[in-house]
């Protein structure tokens, strides 16, 4: 496997006519067999001498700087490996790191390998061997001992383990130097505690377009909660702040067993947040990823969600982003609607989002949302999106798919998907009809209310129960004969 750095060096060699394409292919094959730096292969095959190779590498480094494709932890790993291999005295290395800081103060930047090349501090071969091996250096998560490539980690930055969700910190270059002077090496990260106001943040559990959700613990009571904070990239946006505040206000007024309840709203260190009940379970999206649901379970979930939506709609709130990932299923199997970030109060005369912009998630958008017709978005838009969720639970796929967002929008507006029974013949005609009615292009042809949808689904269950009772009765009479 060739690194992006090797391939970039190859491009530079082609551009400068140091190699032709066939020569480069041969060199890359040798490089992969021997697991060494491409420059060393070029040198040993006498395509370049050390002086010209040094020029090529400097050009490569300039391109890395221009494209901003340098790995965050490259200099950190180089420091570790150079000291481990005893290729440079720590005093000299500290000098080069200070030199880097001087470049930053002048509004420029230079990598450690560029400084070492310019000063010819280390033999070119040794330097390239070390540079080639940076990708193999790892740091262990203190929670689960899984290894992370150190070159991908920003020095001193906090990281959340994707396996066990432990928060830990990557070492800084100064910490590497201190450990080296003590005769040690940092092989395992240190667990970092994240504190946010009255809460300790235990793990990040979700991240959307605007906010980040953490599992947290209230320091005073030990209560486990979900804390949603406005994402760093949106904290200076007035529109994002208003939308975040709107979600908090909406959740505060909604108290229903099928809607996630809010516990507290506030601002900590100028960061808006709100605290919610922590739902022990998983998202409906994760459940569907394992395959289509049993028909009875899919119907039950839709009926419960209809209860939450009907309650919200009667209070004048339209969700506008109903989708499987915004429905959580708790450990008792109860579905709960979350993420009211796009919700709109129907009696509000203020529309924060610009006219003609799109609200929602493409695959779940109603035609009126896909057209950007904000004035036409209402309760039946949520019913349409819930129909998409129902279809996906029954079939395991979205009714409207496409290679691009534009194609998905086009399909929403012009294509009638096949009924769920096309994928699962055991689905009866009435379920097909109910699901497809939710997906009508014309909002007025959909169910008028979420309650009306729930009642239609209940009738299916009643008819099935009657049929099962009648079947059992007939079987009993035959046995008595």
Q: Where are the domains of the chain?
A: 4-134, 138-194, 195-277, 281-466
CB-CB contact of 278 with 292 (8 Å): no
Q: Which of 6, 75, 304, 321 is catalytic?
A: 321
CATH of span 195-277? 3.30.200.20
- Closest-CA residue to 76 (of 167, 137, 125): 137
Using one digit for the tens of pLDDT, what is the confidence trace for 6-21? 888 999 999 999 999 9
Alpha carbons within 13 angstroms on the beta-carbon side of residue 424 total 18
- Alpha carbon distance 345, 188 (integer Å): 50
Q: Which two tokens stand for residue 276?
A: 């919610």
The reported pLDDT for the residue numbered 474 is: 54
The list of the chain residues with pLDDT below 70 reads: 1, 67-68, 187-193, 208-209, 341-360, 461-481
- Alpha carbon distance 150, 77 (integer Å): 7
Q: Which two tokens stand for residue 108?
A: 């420029």
Q: Give the count of beta carbons closer than 10 Å to the beta carbon of residue 92.
A: 13
Q: What CATH class is the domain 281-466? A: mainly alpha
- Alpha carbon distance 421, 161 (integer Å): 41
- Closest-CA residue to 115 (of 142, 88, 84): 88
In DSSP terms, which residues pair with 268 in a beta bridge? 271
Crossing angle of helices 173-181/90-105, nearest 10°? 160
* Active site annotation includes 6: no
The reported pLDDT for the residue numbered 357 is: 46
- Same topology, domains 195-277 and 281-466? Answer is no
Using one digit for the tens of pLDDT, what is the confidence trace for 376-420? 899 999 999 999 999 999 999 999 988 888 899 999 999 999 999
The reported pLDDT for the residue numbered 211 is: 80
The reported pLDDT for the residue numbered 189 is: 62
What is the four-CA torsion angle of 315, 320, 324, 327, rounded to 10 degrees? Answer: -30
């Amino acid at each position: 496997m060739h690194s992006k750095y090797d391939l970039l060096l190859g491009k530079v060699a082609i551009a400068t006519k140091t190699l032709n394409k066939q020569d480069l292919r041969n060199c890359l094959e040798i490089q992969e067999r021997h697991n060494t730096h491409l420059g060393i292969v070029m040198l040993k095959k006498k395509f370049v001498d050390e002086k010209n190779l040094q020029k090529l590498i400097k050009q490569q480094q300039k391109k890395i700087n221009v494209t901003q494709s340098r790995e965050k932890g490259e200099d950190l790993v180089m420091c570790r490996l150079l000291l481990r291999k005893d290729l440079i005295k720590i005093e000299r290395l500290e000098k080069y790191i200070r030199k880097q800081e001087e470049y930053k103060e002048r509004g420029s930047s230079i990598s450690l390998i560029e400084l070492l090349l310019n000063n010819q501090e280390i033999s070119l071969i040794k330097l390239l061997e070390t540079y080639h091996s940076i990708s193999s250096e790892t740091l262990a998560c203190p929670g689960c001992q899984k290894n992370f490539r150190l070159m991908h980690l920003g020095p001193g930055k906090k990281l959340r383990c994707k396996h066990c969700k432990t928060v830990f910190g990557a070492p800084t270059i100064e910490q590497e130097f201190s450990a080296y002077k003590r005769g040690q090496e940092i092989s395992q990260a240190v667990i970092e505690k994240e504190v946010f106001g009255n809460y300790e943040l235990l793990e990040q559990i979700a991240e959307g377009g605007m906010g980040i959700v953490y599992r947290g613990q209230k320091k005073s009571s030990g209560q486990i909660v979900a804390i949603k904070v406005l994402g760093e990239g949106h904290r200076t946006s007035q529109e994002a702040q208003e939308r975040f505040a709107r979600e908090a206000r909406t959740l505060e007024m909604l108290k229903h067993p099928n809607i996630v309840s809010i516990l507290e709203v506030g601002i900590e260190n100028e960061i808006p947040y709100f605290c919610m009940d922590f739902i022990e379970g998983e998202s409906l999206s994760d459940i569907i990823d394992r395959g289509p649901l049993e028909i009875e379970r899919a119907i039950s979930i839709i009926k419960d969600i209809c209860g939450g939506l009907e309650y919200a709609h009667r209070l004048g709130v339209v969700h506008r982003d109903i989708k499987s990932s915004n429905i959580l299923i708790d450990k008792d199997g109860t579905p709960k609607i979350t993420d009211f970030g796009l919700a709109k109060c129907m009696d509000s005369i203020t529309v924060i989002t610009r006219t003609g912009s799109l609200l929602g998630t493409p695959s779940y958008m109603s035609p009126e949302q896909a057209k950007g017709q904000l004035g036409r978005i209402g309760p039946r838009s949520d019913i349409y999106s819930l129909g998409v969720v129902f279809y996906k639970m029954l079939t395991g796929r979205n009714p409207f798919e496409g290679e691009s967002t534009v194609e998905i929008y086009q399909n929403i507006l012009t294509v009638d998907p096949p009924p769920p029974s096309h994928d699962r013949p055991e689905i009866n005609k009435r379920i097909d009809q109910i699901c497809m009615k939710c997906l009508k292009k014309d909002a007025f042809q959909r169910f008028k209310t979420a309650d009306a949808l729930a009642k239609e689904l209940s009738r299916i269950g009643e008819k099935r129960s009657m049929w099962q009772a009648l079947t059992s009765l007939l079987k009993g009479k035959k046995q008595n004969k």
